[in-house]
Every structure is written in structure tokens, then in C-alpha cells.
């Protein structure tokens, strides 16, 4: 597993959307690390983008551009 210092935040938000984004990143062979996943499943009203503990997806620094492009295409920006 990667050193946490080699990881950068690429997404934070709700459980359903985070799960889908994690899946499309993995399908594109991008290593992902998810934080607050259990909080998002147990207390979804707390795990919102503006909430206490949003679900965070981190990727390797070298994969950031690729991951960001994939997420932007998904979001439609």
C-alpha cells in the first residue's frame, strides 16, 4: 500500500456517489484509498459534502490528473 504522504484528495461527498466514483476509478486502473466510508454508511446524514465527515477518495499523486479527468467527465463539467 502507498505511503499516505503520496496520496491526494480527489473527491469528497455522499456515500452513493463516492462508491460509484471509486468503482469507475478502479475500473480505469487508478489506485484509490477511501476515508470515512463506515461513517457514511452508518450515519449518512453526517457524511455529506458540507457535513462533519464526508467520504473522501484519495489517489496517488501521479494518478491525480487522470482521476480528476475521469471524475469531471462523470460529473459533466
> Taking Cα atoms as reference points, which of 40, 27, 33, 25 lies closest to residue 9?
33
pLDDT at res. 33? 94
How many domains is the chain partitioned into structurally? 1
Cα separation, 53 vs 51, whole angstroms:
6
pLDDT at res. 47? 47
pLDDT at 67 over 90: yes
Cβ count within 10 A of residue 34: 16
Quote the pTM value.
Answer: 0.75
Range of the domain at 69: 4-75
- What CATH number does the domain containing 30 carry? 3.30.70
Average pLDDT score, the chain: 82
Amino acid at each position: 500500500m502507498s505511503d499516505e504522504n503520496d496520496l491526494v484528495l480527489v473527491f469528497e461527498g455522499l456515500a452513493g456517489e463516492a462508491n460509484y466514483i471509486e468503482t469507475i476509478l478502479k475500473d480505469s486502473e487508478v489506485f484509490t484509498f477511501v476515508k470515512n466510508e463506515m461513517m457514511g454508511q452508518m450515519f449518512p446524514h453526517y457524511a455529506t459534502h458540507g457535513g462533519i465527515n464526508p467520504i473522501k477518495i484519495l489517489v496517488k499523486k501521479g494518478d491525480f490528473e487522470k482521476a480528476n479527468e475521469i471524475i469531471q467527465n462523470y460529473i459533466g463539467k
